[in-house]
Structure 1
């Protein structure tokens, strides 16, 4: 196993009280496709992605992150990572084995330092997917996941030490200090970011669209459909990606984005960006002002699933 056992982001699994309403939002409004269903479960795919699903929804009394799933290159890498984590006293939820989820594969689960369930897998069957055509304002793939952390420095250290993530950039504020760490596992600027927040929770899940035109069409479709917009449209400096943030029916923030930066890892040096400068938050100057109200909408509810593994 290399020092970077993780290859890519696979999917984000969410538990919600109203499964039907959440599924309708993600499929009828957001543009995902229901690929598989089971009792109280819905597996939603992005039409342009080879992953079996990018969002899994589970009906539950408590809203929570069920798990964040990443890919590994081989089953041997999965085994080696599980052995290394156990030796470092990381608490395993399950031992490596065959996965009973769409696409199968070989993987295991563990808790991160704050109690989120993380899954790493290899040999998951590739889904039959297609090229997203010009003008189609639906997600191509799950771009990245951002989590809130009450201990962001420790959480960053956990993912760097144990999973081989590397720092791409940092957002800071003159009064509040370092506020967000952008972490990568491949050439994409970030697959995971960690935001300083009052509690552990989901900050947002981001979905890549085909291009600028499709991103703007999707943003407009959300606005016309009455979906509550939090922030955008605009273009960030860190990652150079576009952004439009909306709330799903359960108060989770979801983002349409495109053109996330692909970096040259051999020459890249992390930046320390002061996001009190307007051009850092939004290079275009088209988004509504980033203020305390906007920021608080992404704090989300405290995650009720910390150190409690999902039942499936």
Structure 2
């Protein structure tokens, strides 16, 4: 898309009641690095990523998604995007301006069609990061985030129209119809996906590992530590990426993945995959079956943050 202004996914911000427990889980178990702290805030980085942080935790009375943050190439692009959103009647939270977060930068916040807070920023300083070594089972970067919506077609069209995302693939089921859209903002198969759900909520947050061996070592480390596995290990057909899904202490689903597909955007045509085909859900056949119990966990709790801007 020639006029696409979003370049990539930056981070996800979560509000959690048991802040200390969640912070310990992300650092001790999930192997993120605490880059900076503030009163009731923790900024968590991935070792191989130049982003200052890929997860922000905030001490909150209720569990919620505070925001999903994306990057833009320039401050002028942020201004252009904000102007487009205002003219289209999108509900804004803030005007474009300087940001007081690690890395600084220039950004804007607004609500998506489901009421999630979205942030787009540019001119953000980069973090000193490093190459993740062989056999090191720590996340390299944030891979993607999947969002639950009561109307996935409406939400897909909103992201395409207002933020320039493109459809990569769709999952469908013979009895349920379309169940998930995969959307991209660059050549990566998806930075976000929209899943059909009775309510607005977080489906899962995914983290890229160095390779297959590191992905499996990370999966095994979590299993040995007693972290509850929901689904996996396996390899999806849409995106061709590996998957192992676990629950964090607040019931959010997190994923270790690797080898998410890169597309030739000039020639790519979206597929419609039948989710009832076992090869679509898991090409390897190694994961536990996808059933109503796995799906229920991915529905998560209804998001308390809809159309309520986070305090920071």
- TM-score bracket for this pair, using the shorter chain length: over 0.9
Residues 238-259 of structure 1: CA deviation (Å, up to 9, x unaligned): 0000000000000000000000
Counterpart of 1:256 in structure 2 is: 256
Residues 288-310 of structure 1: CA deviation (Å, up to 9, x unaligned): 00001111001000000000000
Residues 31-76 of structure 1: CA deviation (Å, up to 9, x unaligned): 1000010000000000000000000000001100000000000000
Counterpart of 2:131 in structure 1 is: 131
CA distance in structure 2 between the aligned counterparts of 1:159 and 1:176, rounded to whole angstroms: 23
Q: TM-score of the superposition, structure 2-length normalised?
A: 0.99
Q: CA RMSD in A?
A: 0.8
Q: TM-score of the superposition, structure 1-length normalised?
A: 0.99
Query: 1:114-193 alignment to 2 at 5 Å?
Result: 114-193=114-193
> What 5-or-longer segments of structure 1 have no aligned partner?
none
Offset of 1:143 from its aligned partner? 0.0
Counterpart of 2:232 in structure 1 is: 232
CA distance in structure 1 between the aligned counterparts of 2:8 and 2:146, rounded to whole angstroms: 15
CA distance in structure 2 between the aligned counterparts of 1:184 and 1:238, rounded to whole angstroms: 13
Give the secondary-structure state (helix, strand or coil) at the position aligned to 2:95: strand
Offset of 1:3 from its aligned partner? 2.0
Counterpart of 1:306 in structure 2 is: 306
Give the secondary-structure state (helix, strand or coil) at the position aligned to 1:297: helix
CA distance in structure 1 between the aligned counterparts of 2:62 and 2:158, rounded to whole angstroms: 26
> What 5-or-longer segments of structure 2 have no aligned partner?
none
CA distance in structure 2 between the aligned counterparts of 1:5 and 1:110, rounded to whole angstroms: 15
- Is the counterpart of residue 31 in structure 1 residue 31 in structure 2? yes
Counterpart of 1:110 in structure 2 is: 110
CA distance in structure 2 between the aligned counterparts of 1:3 and 1:23, rounded to whole angstroms: 38
